[in-house]
Structure 1
């Protein structure tokens, strides 16, 4: 291209040069051949120099244009591909701070069917079981925090409200939190296999309390202990309690094992203090309790629990037993018992029940909805027993035979169907003809989301 350009310019220059002497010959004397040849050479040399200069300038212009085109293309690509979202939490973490919003919403509905002659709150029911909002994060120096409020039931209640300090395997917690009663109670409601926990956890009044606790986890051993007063709603009481739990959690190949035990002592501290143990039939939206000790005058409570669980691929099994002894100043001290045995299996390939820190954790579907999969589908069976009869107290016996089907489309969404057959002995609500031994059917569904 450069050669053709030079030849075309030279041809034009030669034609102009040849025409110039002919025109000059008419105006003046004819120059010699050497003079004409020298003049032509000088003009050609000037033209070649000018061509070289123009070519250099053209190359520079083309290079600049190429750079400009590359910048334009890069900008166009950046516009076509959205910039990554900012991560303020990561920036905060550089200085030891972080902030994570938290929340969960659970909506339950279902029915409770009892004999027609039983005067109880049965039939259809529904409720917002939990509606929590809060935040958690880290603070400089190894500290952390977590705070959640629950807006369900037309009330505002505090769930976890804690400040923590962590140093390696050791963690200290102060504030409103669970006091290590059992595997079932410590497992988040987000990750349980039924819409309600085992009957004994609610019957024996397991709840969060204000206290100071310490936890040590190293290898397969987890040790937890704490001192507690009462929950946020009962800060005016003189309750004082001590709780401890020890867990061993070895792995045998791909099987996660869990073996644990706990002890609990609660000093009621008031002269006319009472306790009451009772429980609903599987679902929470009914106010009816078919087993109920009524108010018992008591000085203190002592509880002991045993835990065992195994997770092997899609299969899990878990069993717990808990004994609650009541120190009653005016009568014999009764000991009540509750426990359950459960098995579960994932019907979808690649899924397993989560486990972390001595409790069940989040199930993460191997093939979630939105990524070409169905999510996880889990089937569970449970036998749930609660005995509130002892030492002359007839609170009733509840035997529950329960099944659940849990579908998780994604990590943070869940739909569950639950059925329970409750067989009662010495129920506190008799039939019209005075019978206290009968059965109750409970059916419940849940829709759940959390973040």
Structure 2
């Protein structure tokens, strides 16, 4: 029997003695001494019990030495969860939520799902209403349905792989990057530095569709190698490219050199952006097949009201543009122009023009975001998830596209546009878009349409992007 058991037995026996017997054999003085001794024994029992419990804990703890000890900490301000293994120095892993889970590990590894779902409802009506133009009436479509991943790898490398699933599986972005301070190298399919709005994500544009010249002049992602370099307030971008990855199987072998330079500064709390771009392209096997055309600011209408058709004898393409933007609190203004010059072997060389000017204002306490030479999505100051109203923005734009020159009559389009955008939370937007489009020199481009006519377009978009 151990000490702890003996002491407990003695105390229990004393407690069971008949009280009358104790009273007959023990005097008052002896009784007081006995009670005092019992109290001392009780204290010793408690002390021994505490020591034995401590010994037991150490024995249990000794069995866990060498096992992984996981600790989980959450930063309430950033929403970052960190899981760390202290016993064997395995790397920690952090989970962050920005519309989708972003996972980061020590050594430079990270991965984040990327995606966007854009669904449009549109209505086109002709002016005068007696015209019977293809595409009139209500239409709707899933404008974009893109999913993929992006992240980083050890050694300052990164990657991005995004595909659109609307019509089969088509790669939009597929490239690797390498960063070294202000220098970033990119290899694969990516944008070719065409201009401010084209390089800005479709998740963040002010209208349902970008300026008319961006699609008309064939701006798209291509396979190539490029470099960007941040030199103080200047951002230098340039690269060499071939065709879009979906066109490589067709035997196309165009080759282009593309570049852009932009400058940013702040004057009296107003952010200023100035930029220009140039693109020189040998059309290769695309000779005689280049053409410029555009839909009426809604993609679900397949009719092109402005169209050069195939340009005979085209061998090379030179395009260049200018861009300027300013952000002052809740107000922003942006203007872009672009020219496309086509060199032809036997005919005069046409030069076409496109451009737009836009002004916008947030009705709420929000501002348009800008980073790395492009516009970014708004960071909602008072989201509905916190009981707020979200971000409300109004925009106005004049847009012109002129495809008439050197004997080519592709028509001219002037668009007067307005939009209302509600962003309830950072990753969700709803856009209401109105446009009045006026066409000139458009005879026979669309069967049944006169030389000069107009259309009204109403568009509504629901959007989720992360």
Q: TM-score, normalising length from structure 2? A: 0.82
Distance in 2, matches of 1:43 and 1:232, equals 101
Q: Deviations over 1:157-210 (max 9, x none)?
A: 111111000000000000000000110100000000001000000000000000
Between the aligned partners of 1:282 and 1:373, the Cα distance in structure 2 is: 32
Q: For the residues of structure 2 that align with 1:44 and 1:292, how far apart are their CA atoms?
A: 115
Q: Please, which of 256, 269, 285 is the counterpart of residue 271 of structure 2?
A: 256
Separation in structure 2 between the aligned mates of residue 268 and residue 103 of structure 1, nearest angstrom:
32
Question: Which residue number corresponds to residue 414 of structure 1?
Answer: 429
1:225 is matched with 238
- For 1:162 and 1:430, locate their aligned partners in 2 and report how far apart those are by CA, in whole Å: 39
SS in 2 for 1:99: strand
Output the CA distance in 2 between the equivalents of 1:316 and 1:63.
73
Cα distance between partner residues in 1 of 2:288 and 2:254:
10
**In terms of mean alpha carbon deviation, does 279-288 or 49-58 score higher?**
49-58
Q: Are residues 17 and 112 of structure 1, via their aligned partners in 2, closer, same or farther at CA, if it must alter by over 3 Å?
A: closer
| 8 Å CA contact 1:209, 1:229 repeated in 2 | yes
Residues in 2 aligned to 1:414 and 1:330: alpha-carbon distance in whole angstroms: 49
| Structure whose alpha-carbon radius of gyration is higher | 1
C-alpha contact 1:290 1:428 (8 A) present in aligned 2: no
What is the rounded CA distance, in whole Å, between the counterparts of 2:48 and 2:252 in structure 1? 88
Question: SS at the partner of 1:249?
Answer: strand
Structure 1 residues 397 and 93 mapped into 2: Cα distance closer, same or farther (>3 Å)?
Answer: same
Structure 1 unpaired stretches of 5+: 1-8, 22-36, 66-77
Counterpart selection for 2:39 from 42, 51, 66: 51
* 1:364 equivalent in structure 2: 379
Residues 422/432 of structure 1: CA separation in 2 closer, same or farther (3 Å cut): same
**Residues 135-157 of structure 1: CA deviation (Å, up to 9, x unaligned):** 000000000000000012x3321
2:409 paired residue among 366, 373, 394: 394
Residues 3-29 of structure 1: CA deviation (Å, up to 9, x unaligned)? xxxxxx99x9997455239xxxxxxxx
| 3-state secondary structure, aligned to 1:49 | helix
In 2, Cα distance between equivalents of 1:418 and 1:294:
29
User: Match for residue 95 of structure 1?
Assistant: 107
2:319 aligned with 1:303, yes or no?
yes
Secondary structure in structure 2 of the residue aligned to 1:270 = helix
Aligned to 1:267: 282
Partner of 1:443: 458
Q: Could you tell me how far 1:86 is from its partner in structure 2?
A: 6.2
For 1:426, the equivalent position in structure 2 comes to 441
Q: Per-residue displacement from partner, 1:387-444 (whole Å, max 9, x unpaired)?
A: 0000111000000000000000000000000000000001154788872101111110
Q: d(CA) in 1 for partners of 2:402 and 2:198?
A: 18
Question: Is the 8 Å Cα contact of residues 162 and 176 (structure 1) preserved in structure 2?
Answer: yes
Q: Which has the higher strand share?
A: 2
**Separation in structure 2 between the aligned mates of residue 271 and residue 435 of structure 1, nearest angstrom:** 32
Correspondence for 2:76: none
Shift of 1:110: 1.1
In structure 2, which of residues 252, 258, 262 is the aligned counterpart of residue 243 of structure 1? 258
Deviations 1:268-304 (A, max 9, x none): 1238442100011111110011110000130010001
Q: Aligned residue for 1:25?
A: none
Does the residue aligned with 1:113 lie in a helix, a strand or coil?
A: strand
Alpha-carbon offset, residue 50 of structure 1: 2.6
Please give the alpha-carbon distance, in whole angstroms, between the structure 2 residues aligned to 1:41 and 1:397.
120
Which has the larger displacement, 310-319 or 426-435?
Answer: 426-435
The answer as to 2:192 corresponding to 1:192 is no
**Aligned CA distance change for structure 1 residues 428 and 53 (closer, same or farther; 3 Å):** farther
When structure 1 is superposed on structure 2, of 220-229 and 107-116 the one drifting more is 107-116
Residue 273 of structure 2: SS of its match in structure 1?
strand
Question: Using the alignment, how far apart are the partners of 2:411 and 2:161 within structure 1?
Answer: 38
1:117 pairs with 2:131: yes
Whether the aligned pair in 1 keeps the contact of 2:239 and 2:258 (CA below 8 Å) is yes
Deviation of 1:51 after TM superposition, in Å, equals: 2.6
Distance 1:225 1:258, change over 3 A: same
Q: Hey, what's the Cα distance between the residues in 2 that align with 1:283 and 1:301?
A: 27
Q: Secondary structure at the match of 1:414?
A: strand
Unaligned runs of 5+ in 2: 1-13, 54-71, 73-78, 84-92, 96-102
CA distance in 2, matches of 1:20, 1:354: 95
